[in-house]
Amino acid sequence: MSLPPKVLIVRLGAIGDVVNALTLAKALKDLPQPPHIGWVVHDLARPLVEDNPLVDRVHVWSRGSGLAGYRGLIRELRSAGYGLAVDLQRLAKSALVARRSGAQRVLGWDRARSKEGAWLLVKERIQPGDPQDHMVRHYGAFAAHLGAQPTGPRGVLHPGREAEAWAAELLQGTGAAPVVLNLGASKLPNRWPAERFGELAAGLAADGLPVVLAGGPADREAAATALEVATASAGPGSAPIQDLAGATSLRQLAALLDRAALFVGCDTGPMHMAVAMGCRVVALFGPANPRRTGPFPGDAAGQRILQHLPDAASHGGKPWRAARTDAITTQEVLAAARDLLSD
């Protein structure tokens, strides 16, 4: 079945999911006759798709806009004339948006990987696959279904000139490519103690590596704690440690990661942004399966995943469910960072 000239992708959030889902847009744009691509997204992840050459039109569905916002979105989608709508969110609300978009073809997940009965709302489904495979490979299954070549996340983010200029100016102040420590994670069990980020920052700064503490507005308190610990521990002659938590836009963060020597962080969106920007990554994992949501293994030499797994037999063959992020020590992370930086 040939691809229609206009394709709509529904992937509302979160940040890491939108980054990885952009691989479908990239695969479609790599076709000899690439389609016009529209994208439905929530406000938070909007900067990742807006002004991105992989996406021709962005439809924002604002959280809290109620029924009026939903109806307005559907009117906007129907007037755009999409021939195919793809639900990458696999939830009832995203599948409903795809179904009501006016597109003749509505593609979604197979039944086993769908949630909330979303598979019932689509007209066409990808072939069943391993639920524990990496999300990028799941999105690659959509690309293959549509006759495109699956691709990895490298190059799907485009920070823009303003963000690039901001990052270039920042690096003039640091004097060298910094190590970015991202303190945040949307789920509390995925977080690593702020004090250990401070110890890590001090160790890296002692090695002569400038450090940038990053995160969202909710991470400012943790960053302040980390900076206090780092400042107290850093010896004379250490490289600078800068706190930018809550002070960068997503595009600025992407531009910074494009220039960073290394990213260290937990199971969170900026980790996937780092992979997409080609940055080396140390990923700290607790109760999640890194095979599915970890850094996409397209560059294994540039990645380290740290996770303490209990006995697999006692957890139904899924030991990550009982893993604790705070079981990872500062020395383990520092050793992994030094190992990557020495390559």
Q: Are residues 331 and 209 in the same domain?
A: yes
**Does residue 152 sit within a domain?**
no
Instruction: Count the domains in the chain.
Output: 2
pLDDT tens digit sequence for 132-167: 899 999 999 999 999 999 999 999 999 999 999 999
Pair (219, 78) in one structural domain:
no
Task: Please report which confidence band the pLDDT of residue 1 belongs to, taking 50, 70 and 90 as the band edges.
Answer: low
Give the pLDDT of residue 221.
94
Q: Are residues 163 and 249 in contact, defined by beta-carbon separation less than 8 angstroms? A: yes
Q: What sign does the CA torsion over 228, 232, 236, 239 have? A: negative
Instruction: Let me know whether 119 and 231 are in one domain.
Output: no
Same domain, 169 and 307: yes
Which residue segment(s) compose the domain that 75 sits in? Answer: 6-145
Longest alpha-carbon distance in the chain: 66
Does residue 196 or residue 111 have the better pLDDT? Answer: 196
Assess whether pLDDT exceeds 60 at residue 313.
no
Domain end among 145, 176, 191? 145
Q: Is residue 321 part of a domain?
A: yes
* pLDDT, position 122: 85
Least confident window among 74-88, 191-205, 222-236, 287-301: 287-301
Yes or no: say if 97 and 61 are a contact pair by the CB < 8 Å rule: yes
| Residue 154 domain-assigned (yes or no) | no
Residue 312's pLDDT is what?
Answer: 56
**Residue that terminates a domain, selected from 99, 116, 145:** 145
Q: What is the pLDDT of residue 131?
A: 86
Strands (E), the chain: 6-10, 36-41, 57-60, 84-87, 105-108, 124-125, 179-182, 211-214, 241-243, 262-266, 281-284, 303-306
Q: What is the pLDDT of residue 203?
A: 96
Structure tokens at 103: 């597109």
